[in-house]
Amino acid sequence: MFNNFFNRFRKGLGIDLGTANTLVYVRNRGIVINEPSVVAINTRTEQILAIGSEAKEMLGKTPPHINTTRPLSGGIISDFEVAEKMLRYFIDKVNESERGHFARPQVIIGAPLEITEVERKAVKDAVMNAGAKDVWVVEEPMAAAIGARMPVREPIGNIIVEIGGGTTEIALISLSGIVTWKSIKIAGDELNRNIMQYARENFNLLLGEKQAEDIKIKIGSAMEIGEKTQYPMRGRDLISGLPKEVMIGDGEVREAMIKSLRTIVENIKGTLEISPPELIADIHERGLLLSGGGSLLKGLDQLIARATEIPVRIADDPLTGVVRGTGIMLDEPDLLEEVAVLSTKQ
């Protein structure tokens, strides 16, 4: 019956509703939307002014009556109404490009591991209210593992670390289920905040979040790699109140982030320590997979490999792993039925 249902509705959407970015996969077309999860609102009129990339460009640059907000925090919906409007915008955008074929689409959406039943239902309700006909919720590490073509249905240990904007999720997968896992609220956004705090404490410099992210991407690293590099850090001098530029080195950026990076590594080790020995034997042979935008931090794979003494590799195109996994499940309904944690069919 499940297969017949999907055969009748050949079109479907996969959504990675992330703290930092929202990606949408259209069946038979691939990824059609990859936009920041940011919304700009006029607080005088409650009108949505911009969503996605356009709204992100407004961050920190708006007058008092325009509020730029992220409707998700730590991978969980923190502003239901704004999240619903953002989802509706993206679904309508797909609908326009498909000439109405997605009037009421079937949707698979990823959700964090450490999420309550109420929060999971809020995700489902937001998608339904945004125009979906049916919704399946799948745990994000599972979707990312499927997107990386890991053999999740086999009796083999597959460990994946999904480092997003708001959360880092570590999951050991076997036989279409998550055996052991840990989820922490330390990920890409927290590393940005680490750099902002370092600039304040060491240079008396008030740094914007976008500047901190640029520094992390340009010269950030988890270990010393190659030649030393520097990057201009621009913000407001906390003493004079005037604009100020300071050159920051890769070693200083690493120092700013090291405590958070060690926490991620310790939680990976903690997950391995509580895993069944038979699966640990598989992991020792097969290694660990890094996914999510945070996995692109230079040297992070080497730092984890050195601490855990197991091979570590980075997924192909780690930024899109979750949404590509939802795309595979749209084509394999039996697999979706095995791994979905919540489904709603009208």
For the domain 154-186+261-319, what is the CATH code? 3.30.420.40
According to DSSP, residue 62 is labeled -
List C-alpha distances in Å: 25 to 48, 193, 290.
Answer: 24, 30, 21
CATH superfamily label, 2-143+320-345: ATPase, nucleotide binding domain (3.30.420.40)
Residue 35's H or E segment, with its range, is: strand 30-36
343 band by pLDDT with thresholds 50, 70 and 90: low
Ligand-binding annotation for 43, yes or no, is: no
DSSP state, 52?
Answer: T
Tokens of 321: 């792993």
The answer on whether 344 is annotated among ligand-binding residues is no
Q: Which CATH superfamily is domain 188-256 in?
A: ATPase, substrate binding domain, subdomain 4 (3.90.640.10)
Query: What pLDDT is attached to residue 8?
Result: 43
The answer to whether 327 is annotated as binding is: no
Ligand-binding annotation for 177, yes or no, is: no
Task: Tell me: is residue 245 an annotated ligand-binding position.
Answer: no
pLDDT tens digits along 245-271? 999 999 999 999 999 999 999 999 999
Question: Residue 35's CB: how many other CB atoms inside 10 A?
Answer: 19
Enumerate the domain spans of the chain: 2-143+320-345, 154-186+261-319, 188-256
Q: Residue 100: is its pLDDT beyond 90?
A: no
> Both tokens of residue 2?
């499940």
Give percent above pLDDT 90 in the chain: 82
Tokens 């998550």 found at? 178
Q: Where are the alpha helices (DSSP H) in the chain?
A: 2-8, 53-56, 80-97, 117-129, 140-147, 188-203, 209-219, 250-273, 277-286, 300-308, 321-331, 333-339
Work out the pLDDT band at 115, boundaries 50, 70, 90.
confident
pLDDT score at 225: 85
Q: What is the CA radius of gyration of the chain?
A: 21
Check whether 167 is labelled as a binding-site residue. Answer: yes
Q: Which residues contact 202 (CB under 8 A, 6 or more apart)?
A: 252
| Residue 124 in marked binding region | no
7 is in an annotated binding site: no
Q: Is 275 annotated as a binding residue?
A: no
| Annotated binding residue 52 | no
At 65-93, the pLDDT tens digits run: 999 999 998 888 999 999 999 999 998 88
